[in-house]
């Protein structure tokens, strides 16, 4: 698909989206302005004073949604991703301007049509993998000549500007990275350290020798530890926590049985229907009717072998397909290829972008038939395609559409390409006009089926919904604070589940699902507030705000899961130290009732010790030459308290090439700098209005 076709597909919905957003912004700005006088509904945020405009952001967001829709990514999930992209973009733009980095006129051609061309995907031959540079250049030139302002702006915004930004970003990163060098003395020192080995004898008392429940960790202990290690326990973004209770409104077994019976009642009529499209349109179905054939191996539905075995004209079901009961009817079967290639000349009747009439139906049909006659008489397809085709996307490629699977093209083109043999030619009509088509290639043929699906959702009854919503409302009306919320949940035998780390711009709540309105409520209320019931999926939920985490040093509640074990081990270490007697390994061994052990081949550059695990403190002490044949003070390590005696410290011959080691060390150091946007963010002034506008 070429850039022109891509833009045509994007153009209409982007333009309508911009207009809709602009109108909404105008209305909101007018209304809110009268009430509050100062709310700006167009400024989504600022980065060091540079504005992120909401309308521009929405335009980019729509494009991201379009790009990711096949992967099932939701719009709400992309807002945060795009926001971070915009922050990074503006941060780097400022730095690039400071450094005078730019893309020159000559360099721009390489940016647009070189190895990293933004047009590469649209103009790469899928068969050969060759990037058709000249085709891409012609397409861009054609758009510029067309004087179509919308298309020109979109090429600039969605292709050229991002490509230039990527080149500027690459230059900036290269400047930063190349500025880092590795001194020879440092490389030699680190290479030397990799060859150092030591041998020790030790006595160890593991922390597990003391039962956890005997060691109490108080809130004061945690507060003191967090304060002492404040840099490691900084909260960069405020968050909140809730406890919630769910009341299921999912279809009951009775609801499921009723849905099945209702579908069975339609089974005979479905089987006897002569026109499945009319029947399904009248009866309603969750699965739309595709009035053509699909390869046997491409059909992905439950019970498909049983459906095929039912035979043409027969039905199979009901069977469960996701949240539906479904009856399948085999309409027909053929031998079709899985993929095909064709070329065509489009004689358009309407402009697909704006719906304007290009020519009337009879004139289009007459021209298409004339082209058919001309080709039969010896005229070349390529010359007529160049002269008459209104499909600008394929026109530059001689009208060719390379191998495509079933159901990708509009039905008339799809059916002609798969139902006829290679070399077949003819005229077909679609919603776009008349097409002169020639089938070029096909894969081997195999079974393909046309199947109609009568599918009905398994839905909760009014009684089921009312029961759940009433129970949720009754529960929400009783508690006045967090304590009574938890107590009432116990009374009705409901478990209060936690959801932590909820941020002000979140759309989803852990364990609950998408509920932006609830996130807003959480941040508008204080600890102990109880929500009204809110519906998410098949549940009604009632929530209570259980905690508030502010920016700055982490609170005791949030830090406890991370530091409680560390503090407990510190207290155990003090207890173990006090129990150890003597100043030799033998006397310490006797007091600890632990044997003296040995560890050989300890590497200075590797913190793992066989039999002990990750113990950097022990490794460091093992290379302390003052401890050779002497006993250390007890060392509080990761897994326990140890006293060691160094037996030997030496070196083994290096197996590494010094130059290679230096280069590898340099590359590892430089790789860290690719996260330079994190450093820029920390010193930037960022204003985030997303919570007010979404």
Higher pLDDT, 92 or 496: 496
Integer angstrom CA distances of residue 483 from 79, 218, 468: 36, 22, 23
Residues 6+ apart with CB under 8 A from 191: 654, 656, 658, 661, 662
Domain residue ranges in the chain: 3-178+686-693, 192-233+557-651, 239-248+461-550, 253-336, 339-443
Residue range 529-538, pLDDT digits in tens: 999 999 999 9
Residue range 419-443, pLDDT digits in tens: 999 999 999 999 999 999 999 999 9
The CA distance from 171 to 174, in Å, is 5
pLDDT computed for residue 16 by the predictor: 39
Would you identify the CATH topology of the domain 339-443? Chitinase A; domain 3 (3.10.50)
| Phi and psi, residue 597, nearest 5° | -120, 170
Mean pLDDT over each residue of the chain, to the nearest integer:
89
Taking residues 161-169, what's their average pLDDT? 87
- If you classify domain 239-248+461-550 with CATH, what class do you get? alpha beta
Residue range 292-335, pLDDT digits in tens: 999 999 999 999 999 999 999 999 999 999 999 999 999 999 99
Residue of 521, 470, 397 lying closest to 138 (CA atoms): 397
| Phi and psi, residue 189, nearest 5° | -65, -45
Residues 6+ apart with CB under 8 A from 351: 357, 358
Residue of 250, 234, 237, 332 lying closest to 292 (CA atoms): 332
Residues 6+ apart with CB under 8 A from 83: 45, 52, 57, 505, 688, 690
The CA distance from 598 to 297, in Å, is 63
Sign of CA dihedral 474, 475, 478, 480: negative
The CA distance from 163 to 145, in Å, is 22
pLDDT computed for residue 606 by the predictor: 86
pTM attached to this predicted model: 0.70
């Amino acid at each position: 698909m070429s850039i022109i076709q891509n833009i045509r597909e994007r153009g209409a919905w982007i333009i309508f989206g911009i207009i809709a957003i602009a109108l909404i912004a105008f209305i909101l700005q007018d209304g809110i302005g009268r009430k509050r006088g100062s709310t700006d509904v167009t400024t989504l945020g600022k980065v060091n004073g540079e504005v992120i405009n909401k309308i521009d952001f929405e335009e980019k967001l729509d494009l991201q949604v379009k790009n990711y829709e096949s992967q099932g990514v939701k719009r709400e999930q992309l807002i945060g991703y795009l926001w971070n992209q915009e922050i990074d973009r503006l941060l780097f733009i400022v730095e690039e301007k400071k450094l005078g980095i730019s893309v020159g006129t000559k360099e721009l051609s390489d940016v647009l049509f070189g190895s990293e061309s933004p047009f590469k995907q649209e103009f790469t031959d899928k068969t050969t993998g060759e990037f058709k540079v000249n085709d891409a250049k012609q397409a861009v030139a054609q758009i510029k000549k067309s004087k179509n302002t919308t298309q020109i702006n979109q090429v600039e915004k969605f292709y050229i500007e991002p490509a230039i930004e990527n080149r500027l970003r690459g230059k900036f990163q290269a400047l930063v990275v190349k500025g880092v060098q590795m001194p020879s003395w440092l490389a030699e020192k680190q290479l030397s350290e990799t060859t150092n080995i030591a041998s020790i004898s030790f006595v160890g008392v593991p922390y597990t020798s003391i039962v956890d429940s005997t060691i109490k960790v108080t809130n004061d202990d945690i507060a003191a530890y967090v304060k002492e290690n404040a840099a490691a326990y900084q909260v960069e973004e405020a968050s909140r926590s809730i406890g919630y209770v769910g009341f299921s409104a999912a279809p009951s077994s009775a609801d499921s049985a009723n849905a099945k019976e209702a579908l069975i009642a339609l089974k005979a009529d479905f089987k006897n229907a002569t026109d499945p499209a009319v029947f399904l349109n009248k009866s309603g179905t969750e699965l739309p009717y595709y009035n053509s054939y699909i390869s046997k191996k491409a059909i992905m539905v439950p019970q498909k072998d049983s459906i095929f075995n039912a035979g043409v004209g027969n039905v199979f079901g009901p069977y469960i397909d996701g949240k539906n009961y479904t009856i399948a009817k085999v309409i027909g079967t053929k031998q079709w290829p899985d993929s095909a290639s064709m070329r065509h000349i489009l004689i358009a009747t309407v402009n697909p972008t704006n719906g304007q009439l290009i020519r009337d139906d009879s004139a289009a049909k007459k021209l298409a038939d004339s082209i058919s006659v001309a080709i039969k008489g010896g005229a070349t397809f390529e010359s007529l395609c160049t002269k008459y085709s209104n499909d600008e996307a394929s026109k530059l490629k001689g009208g060719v559409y390379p191998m495509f699977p079933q159901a990708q093209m509009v039905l008339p083109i799809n059916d002609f390409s798969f139902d006829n043999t290679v070399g077949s030619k003819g005229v077909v009509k679609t919603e776009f006009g008349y097409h002169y088509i020639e089938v070029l290639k096909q894969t081997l043929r195999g079974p393909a089926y046309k199947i109609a699906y009568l599918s009905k959702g398994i839905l909760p009854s009014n009684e089921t919904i009312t029961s759940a919503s009433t129970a949720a409302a009754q529960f929400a009306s009783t508690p006045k604070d967090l304590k009574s919320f938890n107590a009432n949940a116990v009374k009705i035998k409901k478990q209060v589940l936690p959801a932590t780390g909820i941020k002000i711009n979140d759309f989803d709540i852990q364990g609950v699902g998408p509920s932006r309105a609830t996130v807003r409520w959480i941040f508008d209320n204080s600890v102990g507030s109880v929500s009204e019931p809110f519906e998410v999926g098949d549940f009604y939920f009632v929530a209570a705000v259980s905690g508030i985490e502010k920016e700055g040093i982490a609170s005791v509640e949030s830090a406890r899961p991370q530091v409680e074990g560390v503090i407990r081990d510190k207290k155990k270490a003090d207890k173990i130290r006090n129990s150890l007697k003597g100043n030799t390994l033998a006397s310490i061994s006797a007091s600890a009732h632990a044997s003296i052990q040995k560890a050989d081949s300890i590497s200075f550059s590797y913190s793992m010790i066989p039999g002990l695990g990750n113990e950097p403190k022990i490794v460091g002490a093992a290379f302390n030459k003052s401890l050779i044949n002497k006993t250390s003070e007890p060392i509080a390590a990761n897994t326990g308290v140890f006293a060691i005696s160094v037996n030997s410290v030496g070196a083994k011959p290096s197996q590494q090439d010094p130059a290679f080691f230096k280069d590898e060390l340099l590359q590892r150091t430089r790789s860290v700098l690719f996260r330079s946007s994190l450093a820029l963010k920390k010193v930037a002034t960022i204003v985030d209005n997303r919570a007010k506008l979404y």
